[in-house]
C-alpha cells in the first residue's frame, strides 16, 4: 500500500506535458471572454408585451433589452406584485464574480507555465467550486426575489420560484431562463481543465502498469 501511495504522490509532482500547457493557456481565452459576454438571459412574454421583455446577466452587471428600457418595464411590473427593484444594489451578489474569474485566469496561466499535476488538480477543484457556488447563488437570489414580496403590494401574488432553467408560467406571464454565451465559455474552460487532468491520470496509470510489468 505504501508503495502505491508513494507513486501517487510522485505522480502529483510530475510536470505537465508541453501539449497540456498549450491547451491550458488556450483555455484561458474563453474564460476571459466570459467576462464580456452575458452569462444568463431571463425573458418573459404576456398579452400586453407580445414582443417580450428580457434582461441579460453579465459577470459584473445586468442589462435590459431595448437599451435598458426592458429593465424599467420589468421593475414596473415587479412593483405591482411587491418584488424588489432590479438594480445594482439588488444584484450585489455579482460583485465577487469578476474577482473569481480573474483569480482563475491568473492561476490557469500559472499552471500552464510552471505547474505540475497537483497544481492542475487545484485548478480543477477551484473551477468546480466557483462554478457550483455561482450557480447556487443565482438560484438563491431568484428564490429571494420570488418569495420576499411586500405585503402591501397592489397585486397580491403568493410567493413563487422564478424559472431557473427552462420555461415557467407565472400568472399571465410566460418566463424563460437560459444560459447565454458567457456560461458556455466558462463551461469550455471547466470541461477543458477536467479533460487535461483526465489525460494525465490516464497517462500516469499506463506508466504505472508498465512499471509493474517491468518488475
Q: Is the pLDDT of residue 6 over 60?
A: yes
Cβ contact 139:35 at 8 Å = no
The per-residue pLDDT for range 124-181, each reduced to its tens digit, is: 999 999 999 999 988 888 888 888 888 887 877 788 888 889 998 877 788 899 999 9
- What does the pLDDT read at residue 195? 96
Chain centroid to Cα 61, Å, comes to 14
Q: Is the pLDDT of residue 3 over 80?
A: no
Distance CA 68, CA 77 (A): 15
Segment holding 174, helix H or strand E:
strand 173-179
Percent of the chain with pLDDT over 90: 44
- What does the pLDDT read at residue 79? 78
By C-alpha distance, which of 185, 195, 16 is closest to 101? 185
pTM score, whole prediction: 0.88
What does residue 60 show for φ and ψ, rounded to 5 degrees?
Answer: -130, -5
Domain count, the chain: 1
- What does the pLDDT read at residue 83? 83
Mean confidence (pLDDT) of the chain:
86
The whole domain housing 18 covers 2-214
DSSP SS3 for 46 = strand
Distance CA 68, CA 63 (A): 6
The per-residue pLDDT for range 82-138, each reduced to its tens digit, is: 888 776 666 777 788 889 999 999 999 999 999 999 999 999 999 999 999 999 988
Distance CA 182, CA 81 (A): 31
Q: Measured between alpha carbons, how far is residue 99 from residues 42, 180, 215 in Å?
A: 24, 20, 50
Amino acid at each position: 500500500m505504501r508503495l502505491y501511495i508513494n507513486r501517487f504522490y510522485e505522480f502529483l509532482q510530475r510536470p505537465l506535458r508541453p501539449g497540456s500547457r498549450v491547451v491550458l493557456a488556450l483555455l484561458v481565452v474563453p474564460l476571459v471572454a466570459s467576462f464580456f459576454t452575458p452569462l444568463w438571459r431571463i425573458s418573459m412574454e404576456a398579452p400586453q408585451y407580445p414582443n417580450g421583455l428580457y434582461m441579460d446577466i453579465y459577470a459584473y452587471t445586468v442589462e435590459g433589452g431595448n437599451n435598458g428600457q426592458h429593465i424599467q418595464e420589468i421593475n414596473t411590473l415587479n412593483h405591482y406584485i411587491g418584488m424588489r427593484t432590479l438594480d445594482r444594489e439588488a444584484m450585489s451578489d455579482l460583485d465577487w464574480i469578476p474577482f473569481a474569474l480573474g483569480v482563475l485566469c491568473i492561476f490557469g496561466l500559472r499552471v500552464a507555465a510552471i505547474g505540475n499535476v497537483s497544481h492542475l488538480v487545484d485548478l480543477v477543484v477551484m473551477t468546480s467550486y466557483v462554478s457550483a457556488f455561482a450557480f447556487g447563488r443565482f438560484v438563491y437570489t431568484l428564490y429571494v426575489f420570488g418569495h420576499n414580496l411586500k405585503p402591501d403590494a397592489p397585486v397580491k401574488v403568493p410567493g413563487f420560484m422564478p424559472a431557473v432553467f427552462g420555461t415557467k408560467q407565472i400568472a399571465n406571464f410566460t418566463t424563460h431562463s437560459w444560459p447565454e454565451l458567457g456560461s458556455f465559455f466558462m463551461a469550455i474552460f471547466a470541461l477543458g481543465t477536467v479533460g487535461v487532468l483526465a489525460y494525465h491520470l490516464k497517462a500516469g496509470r499506463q506508466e504505472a502498469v508498465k512499471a509493474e510489468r517491468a518488475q
